[in-house]
Amino acid sequence: MFMDEMRFGLISNYRRSWSLIGKRTVIANQQEYANRYLYSAIDPINGDNFHIIGFNDVNAAITKVFLEALVKKYKNYHILTVWDNAPFHRKKELHEIDGLTPVYLPSYSPELNPVERFYGEIRKSTANRLFKNIEIQESIIDAEVARWMADKDRTKKLCGYEWIVEQLESYF
Sequence spans of domains, the chain = 2-170
Q: What per-residue string of b and e applies to 100-134 under the rule 16 or more CB within 10 Å gives b? A: bebeebeeeeeeebbbbbbbeebeebbeeeebeeb
Checking if the pLDDT of 29 tops 90, the result is no
Taking alpha carbons only, the member of 4, 11, 5 closest to residue 128 is 11
- The pLDDT value recorded for residue 172 is 66
Q: What is the pLDDT of residues 100-132, one digit of tens each?
A: 999 999 988 889 999 999 999 999 999 888 889
Give the separation between CA 169 and CA 27, rounded to whole angstroms: 46
Q: How does the average pLDDT of the chain come out, rounded?
A: 90
Give the separation between CA 59 and CA 108, rounded to whole angstroms: 19
Q: What is the pLDDT of residues 33-64, one digit of tens each?
A: 889 999 999 999 999 999 999 999 999 999 99
Give the separation between CA 112 and CA 161, rounded to whole angstroms: 9
CA distances from 135 to 9, 37, 86, 96, 161 (A): 10, 12, 27, 33, 33
- The pLDDT value recorded for residue 11 is 73
- The pLDDT value recorded for residue 12 is 67
Return the CATH architecture of domain 2-170.
2-Layer Sandwich (3.30)
